[in-house]
Structure 1
Amino acid sequence: MGKTLYVSQQDCYLCLHQELLVVKRAGAILQQAQLPHLDQILIFGHAQVTTQLIQSCLQRNIPIAYLSHMGYCYGRLQPIQRGNRALQDMQMQLTPKRKLETARQILKAKVHNCRILLLRQRRRKPQVSGEKLALLQRLHTDMDSAQSIDELMGLEGAAAASYYPTLGECLTHVGFEFTTRSRRPPRDPVNAMLSFGYQLLWNHILLLIELQGLDPYQGCLHTSHHNHPCLASDLIEEFRAPIIDSLVLWLINTGVMDPFEDFTDEVEGCLLTQSGRTKFLQAFIQRMEDIVQPSKDPVTGTEEEIPRWALVNHQVQIYRQFVGNQLPFYTPHLIR
């Protein structure tokens, strides 16, 4: 897998010089990237893209995604996809029983990873509520007996209502108070970073799904409404806490983010400023390149140290193998 180019500066001009993608503003070169080495381009806010560059990206199967300042994806330019029809047919033929069990494993992994993240924080911050940790464990166990997707989602909602306020107890810097998750609009800097980070990761997972030939509109947990790629929303769940939530904690508790300079209150809610987006994107890229040890491979039984972006791709491949009947069930990523 190649690289993702993030363009967060406003009023930029993206053009092509031979095989070099050049990002300019007011005549000055801000970024450069070799087009053959790119997997996708994410543009936040306003930018001009030349027809020559668009055509070259379509020929090379490099999608261009347009996102808001908050990271919400408006849409993507990409070539006509043939996909893997046989594999996508197998996705459509997944039985309700297999879908329910996959949804169960995904949400159990999400709650497990949230709890482990809080346990890690508790070693440094004993004020983290032991009662809330015990509740998360009970809800995790209760998911084993859930008989429907709706019942699973209800348990997940109860877990989120306990998890996010406890996550707020782990923040140490003034100006970053956080008691509840608010998405549209994000009401405070912490929610702004969580929303921005989740959208970044969601876009990465969507690309990986398409590269594996899967149908992004055929999921097990979420339903596809208004042409929503629900499989990306399924597979992001197990990675929210270990990738994005932990990154937000680090950015705040190490003093990287400034609650005044890096955020602004607008009609759309609390948004990251240009400086805030730049800091977040730099930290996100570094986090995705960090070497981690994945869960045991269900096929080979081996473990290998790989960068986080490869770990996410590894999970999409496991899902593909599950759909293709190479694996009896989907095994999500669990942190320790």
Structure 2
Amino acid sequence: LKHYYGSLAPAHQIKNLEEYIKFQIGIFLKKKKIAGQLHSRKQTLSELEKLKLLTEKSYREYKKYLNDIIDIAWGVKNKSRPSPPKEQMQEDSSVRGKILRKKKEYYKKRILTGNIIVSTPGYSIGKRKGRIVIKYKRKVIKEIAASKVEHVAITTGGVNLSSNFIKLCVERKIPVDFFNFKGEPLAKLFLYSLPDTETAIAQLKAFQNNKSYYIAESIVEGKINNQINLLKYYLKYRKKTAPAFTELCFNSINKIENILSNISKIEKSGDLNLYRQRLMASEGHASSIYWDVIKVLLEDDVEFTGRVRKGATDVVNNALNYGYSMLYPRIWQALIQAGLNPMISYLHKEQENKPTLVFDLIEEFRHPIVDRTIFAIFPKGTKLYLADGYLTTSSKQTIIREILERLKTETRFRRHRMTYEDIIFHQAKSLSAYLIGKKRSYKPFVWRY
């Protein structure tokens, strides 16, 4: 840290940065304590004594710094510490802004170097002494330390993967996803595991104890809330420059909010399939209004006549479908890690050999991750192209890069900052915890614009 931030700010700002770090460590430990992973102040303090600070301190100052962290973690208010003056708060804000910008630059660089995307036949990927070696027609193109690789995407046929490379990815939990030329997920490589027995039984019991109704309702409410919030986001930035769009958007938000308010009133009659149909009808009505606004939003940048899921011939729908396909493998992996059976679902009806629980959970993330990303591409002047009705290789690479960056972006989530990718895994664990009785409710992810 000293070397990283040493040139970032003068000494007095470094001191403010230390206070910010103290608070963040305290919040991190507080989460651990709530999760039952910290048992005593003394033990935690002993572990903290390994911490090295940015500035030199006396023994007494150092111990006070560590005890302040413990107080934050244990929820003890420090009455002796006065509120900082306004000038100091402004300086703190300036430092935090610089840190966030540095983090964003770091994440962008990591996305470019840590994600291997193979979209051209003829490549081969192997392993050499802890490094991943990429060759094209037997010539080494690139070598990357395995510790820096976060994700591998194979979007074409004719690519050779060595068994040593596959073993390395499994051992290091590096996800490897395979897509067909349409961008549809074909397979995912991850460590072999079976659903947790207790969780799988709880998934089935949910059809008897009415948790299935509550989960389906929560997911639809989360999806509609995210549609509303994304429209509010666009309304916020266009209300002064686009009066016609503003009026349409405002009226549409009111209509969708009315639909949302009636979701909880849908009768839970004891027939889950009938309840699903009614839920999906409300969701479909809200989506129809949402996409009508998006048509107007994009009309100055690209042609878009409406949402088409299968057989799309326009660039926007192809881009959206490709973006959604990138979420499926991650959500599947999150469900497996949470001990859930992806074939047992609540909003979508079960289908043979289909991971319908993946279809359930993805609804919470379509709009804040994919829609927000794809709609931002066109106003930037970036062009996406189709060839024979499908996205070109360069267009796919653009979408993959932008979606990966979005997944690594931090957002405010229940009083904390988390990446969208981490939130996906958090939601899968929350669903599992609700099913087995460790949580009293399941709260969907609702994006804050």
Superposed pair shares fold, TM > 0.5: yes
Q: How far 1:59 moved relative to its partner?
A: 5.1
- Structure 2 SS opposite 1:108: helix
Aligned twin of 2:329: 203
**Within 5 A, what are the aligned runs for 1:230-245?**
230-245=356-371
Aligned twin of 2:295: 168
Of 271-280 and 68-77, more deviation after overlay is shown by 68-77
- Structure 2 SS opposite 1:89: helix
**Within 5 A, what are the aligned runs for 1:177-196?**
177-196=303-322
**Within 5 A, what are the aligned runs for 1:29-40?**
29-35=140-146
Q: How far 1:44 moved relative to its partner?
A: 0.7
Aligned twin of 2:155: 44
**For the structure 1 residues 200 and 233, does the alpha-carbon distance in structure 2 shift closer, same or farther, using more than 3 Å as the test?**
same
User: Structure 1 residue 146 and structure 2 residue 275: aligned?
Assistant: no
Q: Please give the per-residue CA displacement for 1:50-76, whole angstroms capped at 9, x wherever unaligned.
A: 233234445555553321133211223
The amino acid across from 2:338 in the alignment is Q
Q: TM-score, normalised by structure 2?
A: 0.66
The amino acid across from 2:244 in the alignment is Q
Residue pair 1:205, 1:236 contacting (<8 A) in 2 also: yes
Aligned twin of 1:335: 447
**For the structure 1 residues 126 and 22, does the alpha-carbon distance in structure 2 shift closer, same or farther, using more than 3 Å as the test?**
farther
**For the structure 1 residues 236 and 62, does the alpha-carbon distance in structure 2 shift closer, same or farther, using more than 3 Å as the test?**
same
- Equivalent residue in structure 2 for 1:20, among 112, 127, 131: 131
Count of residues in correspondence between the two structures: 320
Q: TM-score, normalised by structure 1?
A: 0.87
Residue pair 1:70, 1:271 contacting (<8 A) in 2 also: yes
Q: Please give the per-residue CA displacement for 1:165-211, whole angstroms capped at 9, x wherever unaligned.
A: 2112111544x211211122222111011101111012111111111
**Within 5 A, what are the aligned runs for 1:253-332?**
253-256=379-382, 258=383, 262-266=384-388, 270-294=389-413, 296=414, 303-332=415-444
For residues 149 and 127 of structure 2, the distance between their equivalents in structure 1, rounded to whole angstroms, comes to: 13
**For the structure 1 residues 115 and 30, does the alpha-carbon distance in structure 2 shift closer, same or farther, using more than 3 Å as the test?**
farther
**For the structure 1 residues 226 and 36, does the alpha-carbon distance in structure 2 shift closer, same or farther, using more than 3 Å as the test?**
farther
Q: How far 1:241 moved relative to its partner?
A: 0.8
For residues 32 and 292 of structure 1, the distance between their equivalents in structure 2, rounded to whole angstroms, comes to: 33
Aligned twin of 1:117: 230
For residues 230 and 206 of structure 2, the distance between their equivalents in structure 1, rounded to whole angstroms, comes to: 32
Note the residue ranges of structure 1 that are not aligned, 5 or more in a row.
297-302
For residues 283 and 143 of structure 2, the distance between their equivalents in structure 1, rounded to whole angstroms, comes to: 43
Q: How far 1:6 moved relative to its partner?
A: 4.2
Residue pair 1:172, 1:252 contacting (<8 A) in 2 also: no
- Structure 2 SS opposite 1:66: strand
Which protein has greater RCO, CA pairs closer than 8 Å, 6+ apart? 1
Q: How far 1:82 moved relative to its partner?
A: 3.1
For residues 31 and 202 of structure 1, the distance between their equivalents in structure 2, rounded to whole angstroms, comes to: 28
The amino acid across from 1:232 in the alignment is V
User: Structure 1 residue 134 and structure 2 residue 254: aligned?
Assistant: yes
**For the structure 1 residues 68 and 155, does the alpha-carbon distance in structure 2 shift closer, same or farther, using more than 3 Å as the test?**
same
Aligned twin of 2:166: 54
Q: How far 1:279 moved relative to its partner?
A: 1.4
Residue pair 2:125, 2:135 contacting (<8 A) in 1 also: yes
- Structure 2 SS opposite 1:333: coil
For residues 344 and 148 of structure 2, the distance between their equivalents in structure 1, rounded to whole angstroms, comes to: 29
Residue pair 1:172, 1:253 contacting (<8 A) in 2 also: no
User: Structure 1 residue 252 and structure 2 residue 378: aligned?
Assistant: yes
Aligned twin of 1:73: 185
Residue pair 1:192, 1:272 contacting (<8 A) in 2 also: yes
Q: How far 1:283 moved relative to its partner?
A: 1.4
**For the structure 1 residues 24 and 310, does the alpha-carbon distance in structure 2 shift closer, same or farther, using more than 3 Å as the test?**
same
For residues 443 and 168 of structure 2, the distance between their equivalents in structure 1, rounded to whole angstroms, comes to: 38
For residues 141 and 73 of structure 1, the distance between their equivalents in structure 2, rounded to whole angstroms, comes to: 35
Quote the RMSD (CA, aligned, Å): 2.3
The share of aligned pairs that are identical, in percent, is 21
**For the structure 1 residues 33 and 142, does the alpha-carbon distance in structure 2 shift closer, same or farther, using more than 3 Å as the test?**
farther
Q: How far 1:107 moved relative to its partner?
A: 0.5
**For the structure 1 residues 152 and 271, does the alpha-carbon distance in structure 2 shift closer, same or farther, using more than 3 Å as the test?**
same
